[in-house]
Structure 1
Amino acid sequence: MLVVTQKYQAQIYVTLRPSVLDPAGTAVQAGLKHMGYDNVDQVRIGKYIEVTLQADNSEMASQQLNQICDQLLANPVIENYRFDLQEQPTG
């Protein structure tokens, strides 16, 4: 039986939980204020990661991405993550 897998691309966004202090964001906000941007109320710093993977379907790709994020890309104790998943055209 021939199994055809599909290629997917994910854009993953990892951010600190709202209850966690963000010293890097605070430093950027202070720099912006020093530059005259007094209208910036808050800055939070995060990570952006792109992953391309193969899976049988989008549900399996999402399950695998959740495992990847939980086990490696994000610290679930202090960070949240979300991802956008798109099927890549075959060509």
Structure 2
Amino acid sequence: MYIAQITVTYKPSILDPQGEVIKDALGRLDYQGVTSVTQGKYFEIKLTATDEQSAYDEATSLTEALLINPNTETYRITMLAEVEA
């Protein structure tokens, strides 16, 4: 069993209004060292697969099919092998 950790954010060319609001609020709270904020979505999906590459390929496929808008968003996938307790 594998766990796909999928982080979805706006592409660099797309304005992130919520990230800008958060950055401005942090400035008002006197966090002056913050130069940018990117907000996004996080998914954690358990996959059964014979190997990590197959799990990664399935995670990529389902992400592109459902989890992102390819016109405005990009994603990053981190794979973990689930540790049995």
**Once the 2 structures are TM-superposed, how far is the Cα of residue 90 of structure 1 from its aligned partner?**
4.7
1:64 corresponds to: 58
Unaligned runs of 5+ in 2: none
Establish whether residue 51 from structure 1 lines up as the match of residue 45 from structure 2. yes
Alpha-carbon deviations, 1:6-60, whole Å to 9, x = none?
x101111111111100000010011111111122111110111111010122121
1:12-91 map, 5 Å: 12-90=6-84
Provide the aligned length of Structure 1 versus Structure 2: 85
Deviation beyond 6 Å, 4+ runs, structure 1: none
1:62, 1:36 → 2: CA distance? Answer: 41
Q: Which runs of 5+ in 1 are unaligned?
A: 1-6
Using the alignment, how far apart are the partners of 1:28 and 1:34 within structure 2?
10
SS at match of 1:55: coil
For the pair shown, which has the larger CA radius of gyration, 1 or 2? 1
Contact 2:4 2:56 (8 Å CA) reproduced: no
- The root-mean-square deviation of aligned C-alpha atoms, in Å, is 1.3
Calculate percent identity across the aligned residue pairs. 35
TM-score, with structure 2 as normaliser: 0.91
Normalised to the residue count of structure 1, the TM-score between the two structures is 0.85
